[in-house]
Structure 1
């Protein structure tokens, strides 16, 4: 299981890591993410990914400490990520048999119950710009609502402009040019990078 995907980038196929593979890579190498606190803040915002695939990608690394960290994190998010109990059980069986320091933590720190990994405080209780995990999730939820409202307003504006054009009485037709979209609304065609229309003439 590679965890990679192929994406189209301006006509070229580009190989990239999927969300699940990226999460596992970052947990294994937090130095590539900007540090443990940055990693923890990023993980707090993760919400749309395949949990089962994430767990399998962690298991194939055959790194017990990595599995312990991934499992401990999934368990902390089990409610909002809808993590099945069998996934956590499978990860626990592959977790370290004795406590091990992880993510650069002090070996004398507290052990994560059930996972045998000692995690740094910045990972267990992350903050970003002075915000707690609860504040971060609340801000993310407000941003989602704001984006939905913006899309709704944009759609309402387009509909209103369409009604005004339709009530104007004069028909329109698309001028010559390469057709870039099959979208047709209110007798307008999307041609090229922008909408171009011309009045219908009686002779054509």
Structure 2
């Protein structure tokens, strides 16, 4: 059975998708699928990424050098994967830099996957979201090469990268990336902050929004509800760097001078 129709419609595919195609064509036997995959691998038309996941090599390209969309790979690395953190910023076109490490949210245990120069890592969905059944809160769908994939919205991404900055990089990367976003739905940002139930994260989000209230057109009155959820005692913006910095009383947050002055360096 020829797979030209299937391969022409998939840049990246899972064994499950192939099985469905073969079943619709009246040949759903595992032996048939195995023979087809073996044949097309030998022909240089498909590349194994990990068990059960393949990338398609376009006609005229070589397996070792053919381009593979890293976002499609990440989206199909496991069921219900959600592009998140710096990877979401990149997908939305808001990242200051391009990384070869990609992150996705998952409710399953996942080992890192290495493919060429890419490293794809799963990050557990926060417990507070799982407890509330809100794993997909502020997750949007986008079509890419005909495939619907999931990615965190810019509002959720704003909060996520401040909640887990180590998954995004330096604070210069975080600040410059978030500063490229022209608009945030503040109500959605606040709703997500409350779902996370993390006082330090609430303070970090409030601090960032206040620092950029003019460009984002945010009034102090809009930030007032967020202050109720800030820590009752001073917390460090960078938990691993518990020294130096200045206290921003409004948010009970101790912020390093590098961030206050935007004299950038690797401060994580």
- Tell me whether the two structures share a fold, i.e. TM-score over 0.5: yes
User: Residue 258 of structure 2 corresponds to which residue in structure 1?
Assistant: 122
Q: Distance in 1 between matches of 2:201 and 2:153?
A: 18
User: Residue 19 of structure 2 corresponds to which residue in structure 1?
Assistant: none
The answer as to whether partners of 1:106 and 1:120 remain within 8 angstroms in 2 is no
SS in 2 for 1:52: helix
The answer as to whether partners of 2:171 and 2:264 remain within 8 angstroms in 1 is no
Summarize the alignment of residues 99-178 of structure 1 with structure 2, pairs less than 5 Å apart: 99-104=234-239, 105-127=241-263
Kindly tell me: are residues 125 and 41 of structure 1, through their superposed partners in 2, closer, same or farther at Cα, counting changes over 3 Å? farther
User: Residue 12 of structure 1 corresponds to which residue in structure 2?
Assistant: 147
Across the aligned residues of Structure 1 and Structure 2, the Cα RMSD in angstroms comes to 2.0
TM-score normalised to structure 1 length: 0.57
Kindly tell me: are residues 87 and 35 of structure 1, through their superposed partners in 2, closer, same or farther at Cα, counting changes over 3 Å? same
Kindly tell me: are residues 91 and 85 of structure 1, through their superposed partners in 2, closer, same or farther at Cα, counting changes over 3 Å? same
Unpaired stretches in structure 2, ≥5 consecutive residues: 1-133
SS in 1 for 2:149: strand
TM-score normalised to structure 2 length: 0.44
User: Deviations 1:51-107 (Å, cap 9, x if unpaired)?
Assistant: 221222122111000000110111111122111434311100101111111224434
**Cα distance, 1:34 vs structure 2:** 1.4
SS in 1 for 2:248: coil
The answer as to whether partners of 1:99 and 1:118 remain within 8 angstroms in 2 is yes
Matched, 1:39 2:174: yes
Q: Distance in 1 between matches of 2:238 and 2:181?
A: 19
Kindly tell me: are residues 123 and 21 of structure 1, through their superposed partners in 2, closer, same or farther at Cα, counting changes over 3 Å? same
Q: Distance in 1 between matches of 2:148 and 2:178?
A: 28
User: Deviations 1:4-49 (Å, cap 9, x if unpaired)?
Assistant: 1011122221111111111111111111111222212223333222
Unpaired stretches in structure 1, ≥5 consecutive residues: 130-204
Question: Mean Cα displacement is larger for which, 39-48 or 66-75?
Answer: 39-48
| Largest Rg, 1 or 2 | 1
Matched, 1:74 2:209: yes
**Cα distance, 1:128 vs structure 2:** 6.0
The ranges of structure 1 where at least 4 consecutive aligned residues each deviate by more than 4 angstroms after the TM superposition are: none
